[in-house]
Structure formats: structure tokens, C-alpha cells
Amino acid sequence: MNRKAKGFTIIEILVAIAVLSLVLLFIIPVFSYSRRAGTTMNRLDSYHDVRRVDQEIASEIKFGSAILYPPKPSGSDAGEWHSQIVYRNSINQTQIIFVNENDQLMMLNYDEILGSYLSNARLLGKSIKEFAARRHGNSVIEYKLSFEAEQREFAVSNRIALMNVF
């Protein structure tokens, strides 16, 4: 009886291990790069949120007709920092930018408030750590804003001159 033993030789096992090692050598970096790409995309989304909030505040205030709060500083120095901005927009409606009790940056059109509800407030940003504003002279306002996204803190500061003030 001529019977062949079924099984793998040591050479076949070593070749299989070598092929498997080569496949893993090429697959592991792909997963590593995809994880890094996901982290980078989240960071870019956070940067985009910072720019969007800054652009929205600047475009709203720039075409305003008057700054009502913070108060005008005495002398040539900048005024003190305050927690909100009250101004008149381009169609002379009173707008308020403030941080609510949920640490959200909100923009409220005071002329459209229904009763005592702040239902018409527009959300500008979430997880706000700090929002402060001060005036420089009659028509220049400076603000600083910091918030947290993706376990990182982002900050923006800007100084805007109203265009419709004479």
C-alpha cells in the first residue's frame, strides 16, 4: 500500500507565513493613515467652525449703524471687556450677541422677540469658553472668542469698524 500522508510541509508553512507577513506589512499602514486622515479632517472641521463664527459675527457687525453696548470708552484708550455686544444692524434693528447658560454663542434680534421667549435667537457656536467685547472709540469694536472642539481649544479675536457710522 502506497499511502501519502496528508498535511503541510515545513516549506509550505514558511511560505504561507512569509506571504501573510507581506500582506500585513502593506495593510497596517493603510489603517494607520486612515485614522490620521480622520483626525485631520476633524481638526479641519473645527478650524472651519472658528472661521465661520468669526466671519458671521464680522459680517453682521460691519454693516451696522450703531454700537449700543459695550459703552463708549472715556479718553483714547479702549474700554473694558464686556460679555455681550448690542448694536443696530443695517436695517436699524437691535441685535445682541451673547453667550447663553448652555455655553452657546447666540445672536438675537431684539426687535423680533415674541413675549419673553428667546425663540428667534440664532446659534453661532457651541462649547464657548469665553466671549468678551470692548469698544475703541465711536465705531470700532473688538471681540475675543474661545471655544472647545475635539478636545482642543480654539480662539479668535477681531477688531471691526462699522461702515455705516458717520
The domain locations on the chain are: 42-161
Place of cell 478650524: 47
pLDDT digits (tens, 9 = 90+) for 90-138: 888 899 999 988 888 899 988 877 555 656 788 888 888 889 999 988 8
Alpha-carbon gap, residue 127 to 36, rounded angstroms? 24
pLDDT digits (tens, 9 = 90+) for 35-47: 788 788 877 887 8
pLDDT digits (tens, 9 = 90+) for 45-83: 878 888 888 899 998 899 888 899 998 887 767 778 999
pLDDT over 60 (residue 1): no
Cβ-proximal residues to 113 (8 Å cutoff; 6+ apart), any chain: 120
Sign of dihedral through CA atoms 78, 145, 130, 60? positive
Single out the residue of 69, 50, 52, 40 nearest to residue 129, CA to CA. Answer: 50
The confidence score (pLDDT) of residue 147 equals 80
The confidence score (pLDDT) of residue 138 equals 81
* Residue 124: HSE in the Cβ half-sphere, 13 Å Cα cutoff: 26
70 — alpha (psi -120 to 50), left (phi > 0) or beta?
beta
The confidence score (pLDDT) of residue 119 equals 62
Q: Indicate the pTM of the whole model.
A: 0.70
